[in-house]
Structures are given as C-alpha cells and as structure tokens.
C-alpha cells in the first residue's frame, strides 16, 4: 500500500499544482489586461520581472536556497524561450478578449501532448498510439472552435502572436521538466526566469521608452506589484508541477486556466462567449482527460526519455 501511494504521489498529486498555477496566471492576466491600457508590452514584461526577482530573492533567502546553479545554460535557454513566449502572450492579452488570449497561450498543453506523442513515435513506441493521437487532434479541434467566434479579421496579427506564445510556452515547459530532472529547486528556476524577464523588458524599454506615470490611471499602477507576485506564484506552481508530476497530466490540467479566464471575461470585461466557444472549451477539457487516461495505460511515465 505504501509503495502504491508513493507511486501515486509524483504522478498525480504533484501535478495538481498546475490547477493552482493556472488560477494565478489567469488572475495575473486580468492585471495585464487592465495595465496594458496605459503601459506597453515591454514595460509590463520589465515590471513583472523586477517585482518577481525581488519577491523570489526574499523567498529563496528565507528558505535558504542558494542562487548559484550548476546548469546556467539550461536556465539561459529556458529564459530565452520563456520570455519570448511571455512577451507574445502579454501582447495578445492587450489586443484580444481575455479568454481568447488565454486559450491561445494554453494551447501549449496541446503542443506538449503532441510533442510527447511524436517523441514516443520517434523512439519506436508506435504501438496503440492511435487513440492518444486522436485526443491530441481533438484538443486542436477544440481550440479552433474556441477561437473561431472571437477572432476577427483585424485581430489576425494578435491571434498569430498568441499562437506563437503557446508554442513557446510548450518548449519552455519542457525545459522546466528538464531542469527538474537535473535537480534544480523550483524557486531557483523561477528566480532566473524572472531575472531574464526583467533584463529583456529593460532592453525593450530602452528602445520604446517609459510611459510617464503622471498620465496613467491608478488602476494600471495598482496592478503592477500584484502582477509580479501572481506571476511568481504561478511560475512556482507550474515549475513544481512539471518538475515532479506527469508531464502530460500537467499539460492537461493546464486547461483549467481557460475556465478561470472565461469567468473573468464574463464577470469583469463583459466579453461574450458564443455557444461554439463553450463547446470548444468543453472539447479541450474532455480531450485532455481522455489523453491522461490513455497515457497512463499506453506510455510509461518516463518523460525524460521522450524529450
């Protein structure tokens, strides 16, 4: 019984951190949506990064975790792809309905699942892959259904940027998994990503310039600190989930962010989500659950061999 519980813990219980992380990210997105009315994308990336760096430095010091790492290049690569995804996501949030931007970013879960299936095929694990592949395709169909009612022609560029954010997030999450396998603490991984965000945002601000705070609303300013704190908490939960949980299960649980953002869209921004959009979200969730069940039966839990 103890052996079964020990096996259950890393696969499932640790993966549940992604639900809490998705809630933090969705709430952060509300702040980005409000603050983007007065601040540009690079400014938001910078403020988010600098607040997170301070917050995580305090947390790491309190926990006694050293900042020195044995895998600096892994952190650098994670920061590069992660920051590109982050900036793209912030841009999409600013120019698209919140639920739409969140859905595009959380398509990363579909990408991760697709990468795992592709990796399994590449490593010769092609037996009984058809049902699992079908759930991945169903997830993509759900995303199309979700986006179709809301994407207008004048939002095409922002939609493409949002899609890039999802692909970048998928690659970043897989790097987070690799960092976890290398023994890196979650807090240190979040700290270096926050540092990369602050540096990238600062470089961007040097080009675009800073917005004068005398011309911005108090609502936008009030969200700057919560954005950084919520981002740190979300990154911490996400990193813990991908480092210790089942990669595909975490990717599926990530879809809970779509539900949170949908309610925020309805309650705070009065965004209208047509029936097709709700059906698309339901299909995404259903395909994620089906993929989780199939994966536990078909693929062994060895993500390090797949990535």
Torsion from C-alpha of 57, 58, 63, 64, nearest 10 degrees: 60
DSSP 2-14: HHHHHHHIIIIIG
Q: Contact 69/245 with Cβ under 8 angstroms? A: no
- 183 alpha-carbon distance from chain centroid: 21
Which run of H or E residues covers position 248? helix 247-253
Q: To the nearest 10°, the Cα dihedral for 41, 43, 45, 50?
A: -170
Encode the chain (307 residues) as per-residue pLDDT tens digits.
Answer: 333 334 444 556 677 888 899 899 999 999 999 999 999 999 999 999 999 999 989 989 998 988 889 999 999 998 899 899 999 999 999 988 888 888 888 776 677 667 777 776 776 665 556 776 787 788 778 877 876 766 655 677 888 898 889 888 878 877 887 888 888 888 898 899 999 999 999 999 999 888 888 888 998 999 999 999 998 898 888 878 877 777 667 767 777 888 898 889 888 988 777 788 778 777 877 776 676 666 555 544 433 333 3
Structure tokens belonging to residue 175: 């790097």
* 107 phi, psi to nearest 5 deg: -65, -15
Query: In 3D, which of 230, 219, 224, 216 has the Cα closest to residue 268?
Result: 219
b/e map 273-285, b = 16+ CB within 10 Å: beeebeebbebbb
């Amino acid at each position: 019984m103890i052996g079964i519980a020990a096996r259950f813990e890393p696969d499932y219980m640790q993966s549940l951190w992604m639900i809490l992380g998705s809630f933090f990210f969705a709430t952060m997105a509300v702040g980005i949506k409000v603050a983007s009315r007065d601040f540009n994308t690079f400014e938001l990336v910078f403020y988010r990064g600098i607040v997170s760096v301070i917050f995580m430095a305090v947390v790491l010091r309190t926990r006694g975790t050293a900042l020195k790492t044995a895998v600096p290049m892994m952190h650098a690569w994670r920061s590069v792809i992660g920051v590109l995804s982050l900036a793209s996501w912030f841009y999409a949030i600013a120019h698209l309905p919140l639920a739409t931007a969140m859905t595009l970013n959380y398509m990363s879960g579909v990408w991760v699942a697709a990468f795992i299936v592709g990796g399994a095929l590449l490593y010769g694990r092609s037996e009984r892959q058809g049902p699992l592949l079908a759930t991945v395709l169903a997830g993509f169909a759900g995303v199309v259904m979700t986006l179709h009612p809301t994407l207008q022609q004048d939002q095409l560029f922002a939609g493409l940027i949002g899609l890039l954010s999802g692909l970048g997030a998928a690659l970043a999450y897989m790097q987070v998994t690799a960092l976890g396998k290398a023994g890196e603490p979650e807090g240190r991984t979040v700290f270096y990503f926050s540092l990369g965000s602050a540096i990238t945002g600062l470089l961007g601000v040097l080009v675009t310039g800073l917005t004068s705070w005398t011309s911005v609303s108090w609502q936008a300013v009030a969200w700057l600190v919560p954005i950084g704190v919520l981002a740190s908490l979300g990154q911490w939960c996400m990193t813990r989930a991908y480092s210790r949980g089942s990669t595909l299960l975490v990717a599926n649980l990530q879809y809970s962010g779509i539900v949170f953002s949908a309610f925020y869209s309805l309650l705070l921004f009065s965004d209208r989500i047509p029936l097709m959009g709700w059906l698309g979200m339901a299909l995404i969730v259903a395909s994620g659950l089906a993929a989780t069940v199939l994966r536990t039966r078909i693929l062994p839990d060895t993500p390090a061999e797949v990535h």
